Amino acid sequence: MSANPRPLRLPPMPKVADLLRVYGLSAKKQLSQNFILDLNITDKIAKVADVFDCHVCEVGAGPGSLTRSLLHAGAKHVAAVEIDRRFLPSLEYGFRRMRSTELAVTHLTDVIRREGENGNLTGCVFIDLSKAFDTISHSGLLSKLSTYGVRGTELAWFTDYLFCRSQVVQYKGVLSEPQPILTGVPQGSILGPILFIIFFNDVHKPLQHSKIITYADDSVIYTSSKDIDTIQRSLSEDMNNLCEWFKDNELIINLKKDKTESMLFGTAKRINLQDKELKLSVNGTLINNTSTYKYLGVHLDSSLNLASHFDRIYKKAATRINLLRSIRPLIDQKCAESIYNTMIAPIFTYCGTLGLSFPDYRKEMIKNIERRGFKVIGNSSFNPPSVNNLIKRKSCLFVFDCLLNNVCTPFKNYFERLVHSKATRNNGISVKLPKMLESASRGRLSIHHADIMKFYIPDALPKADTVHWNSDVPGVRMVGNLPFNVSIPLLLQWLEAIPQRAGPFTFGRTPMALVFQKEVAENIQAPPGDRECTRLSIMTQYLCEVNKKYLIPSKIFVPEPKVDAMLLRFVPRVTPLIEAPFVVVEQVVKAIFSERRKTIRNSLRTLFHTKPELSEELFARTGVDSTLRPNQVNFKDYGKICHSFIEISREHDMPITPLRMRKPVAVATKKNNTDVDARTSYQITQ
């Protein structure tokens, strides 16, 4: 073991439970995840996991208090993989809860500023598509829906919804013949935007060097480096890959000026020193390079001083006040106030967090516009909050939501609170400017915004060493506060990876410390003969030693669930208690527990679908008591049943088909981990 890593000064966690109680607020659930924000509990989880000097894969809703505890406990490296069973990428801001154009702009500008502070330039390509909503391929959309699990009757509904549409044209009172609509999603409908982002969601896959932020069809790819040549090479390669994706999906990129354009960002000093500009082309067409671009309503300039943006919104607000003056004699007081509140003040408050950096003279110009508006309205009693105060209030609410983690993924753990050990009145009320937990960890934390159900874990821990299976456990740990709705599928996926020595068990017998719903945890650790013994108990215990560690009361979680939770520790066995292939054990255990209240004589008949009479031959060969209940069968009997099942299947030429039609990513190889088909039957070998 190496020496204890240097202590880190990590951003402290806010005591959200106290905030909720004091202010009477309620945090909203996200992805069925209940967050543990009590550092005492997460410290206990880290202690049970024994992470000192180990590479750790943390599975949960994203980096938080558990991440901090793992780092403080001396983990060599933590790879935090965010659980998100939804297939929409975390950087898609369109038509989704807790996301907006303002957050998309804030995210992009913060990335550019952060890179600028580190001395880097950021190259961006703002992409515009021609009639994106109208050119969506119906067959392509249905194919993607099928890939994401929409099948059978539900897929037939979407087929009728898309294909059974027609349109007519009326000219001088004459209607044309109805013509079928072969492309596009119905605009103005609730499903239209959702179907579009489902179709568009894998746009990030062709990118090798850049990242992407999307709001519906408005996309921007960006990459950062100190060298403009490196930026140009990366963007050129990714743009070519992206254009191939657009072509495959029958989308058309609009390369006209003011539509798709490239832009270089950095500090004013770095930009002025550049003697080159980005020169990118697509299919022989040069992408226009610009010094300003209107992105989601905000005019961005190369150094992000937002001078051009302020000039435009100031002029727009002044124009509208003049228009209000011209119609003021024709409308009443209430109508004039409504026009001001809905059509003038929002011009400045949109993306108001960007306006916090405006110099004082510009803030004074905003006050002058307000006074002009009040004068036009002409009522001394009309005294709404000032625009500058509205911007400050909006920014404070955003910070508060970030502290609650009641924001979308890119903004979780975005701020750190200033706390100290003294019991002073102002302790904990100050917040530093954003300091990412990842950067504060000095290279000991990497964050992966990915779906853990499809994520190949060894990719996150490239420096971890592999040990022989029969030796001691490796220096790798799996730790997670699992969302209750995906905990069992995840566990089954990892269990299947154990016999294959794949996924997290590529390194050896990797221990796991996982939080489950209390009832599920009790079922997992219930031994054969116990009334609580279930199919999950057998599948887990034949491969792992399972130990109960802590009961975690529901009040610890935010938001508070209706049930308690339990921490379990799993260590894979050197030799499984049932010496048989995983697909065979899974098939046998499923059959035995298919009729839980009956004897196994009845339930094992389902093991031989075409020849149920073979179950009697199985009992004759094994000598297992056929009057046992499913929870009374021990591991020795399971071994006899599995071996006899294999022999009988071989003799009668009966294939053994895996229960799950698609092989989990955990047991797939790195090369084909995204699309592994396991529909072929298990081959019985001599």
Distance CA 225, CA 208 (A): 15
Distance CA 625, CA 601 (A): 9
Which has the closest alpha carbon to 249: 161, 402, 422, 129? Answer: 129
Which has the closest alpha carbon to 611: 649, 583, 643, 640? Answer: 649
Which has the closest alpha carbon to 140: 215, 241, 248, 254? Answer: 248
Strand, coil or helix: 561: coil
Contact 412, 405 (CB under 8 A): yes
Residues contacting 122, CB < 8 A, separation 6+:
111, 112, 115, 116, 222, 223, 224, 231, 264, 265, 266
Q: Please count the residues of the chain.
A: 686
SS3 annotation, 474-500: CCEEEEEECCCCCHHHHHHHHHHHHHH
Strand, coil or helix: 98: coil
Residue numbers belonging to the annotated binding site? 34, 36, 60, 82, 451, 481
Other Cβ atoms less than 10 A from the Cβ of 138: the count is 20
Report DSSP letters for 333-382, one per residue: HHHHHHHHHHHTHHHHHTTHHHHTTS-HHHHHHHHHHHHHHHHHHT-TT-
Distance CA 397, CA 419 (A): 20
Distance CA 157, CA 399 (A): 42
Distance CA 462, CA 347 (A): 48
Tell me the two tokens of residue 263: 């832009």
Q: Strand 476-481 and strand 512-517: pairing?
A: parallel
Contact 136, 262 (CB under 8 A): no
Residue whose tokens read 């130990």: 547
Contact 14, 417 (CB under 8 A): yes
Tell me the two tokens of residue 217: 């069809």
Which has the closest alpha carbon to 465: 53, 82, 49? Answer: 53
Report DSSP letters for 17-65, one per residue: HHHHHHHT--PPPBTTB-EE--HHHHHHHHHHHT-TT-EEEEEESSSSH
Distances (CA, A) of 164 to 154, 161, 179: 15, 6, 11
Residue numbers belonging to the annotated binding site for S-adenosyl-L-methionine? 34, 36, 60, 82, 451, 481
Distance CA 325, CA 323 (A): 5
